[in-house]
Amino acid sequence: MLFGFSDKIWFYRQVVDFRRQIDGLMLIVADQLAKDPTSGQLFVFRNRFGNKVKLLWYDRNGFILIYKRLEKGKFCFPNYGEDCWLLSKDQLSWLLSGLDITKQKPFPKVTATNFF
């Protein structure tokens, strides 16, 4: 996984103008999502054509903006439900890999009891 944090990951399902950079995305987080952009949570945005994503994250003293563009194909974004989805790390990995996060199931959690 790209980030080693345990904070929440939010996917904003609405289309975003990708000319927006850090300041423009911060405004969406604050105004549309009513969340603190400096909270350390990760915010994921999509473009109109479904072939680009931007990830916005605040790391202690500054913003990090990550941009991924597919050269072929499109991401599988959920097209129903709330405007903002809370994602797990697994779901973010699936999304960035081009998988449909609504159809994937993680392995069940296993707690080991016998150690050899």
pTM: 0.86
Q: Tens digit of pLDDT per residue, the chain (116 long)?
A: 455 666 899 999 999 999 999 999 999 999 999 999 999 999 999 999 999 999 999 988 999 999 999 999 999 988 777 889 999 999 999 999 988 888 888 888 888 888 87
Runs of H (alpha helix) within 5-97: 22-27, 89-97
Range 51-76 burial, b when 16+ CB lie within 10 A, else e: ebbbbbbbeeeeeeeeeeeeeeeebb
**pLDDT at residue number 5:** 63
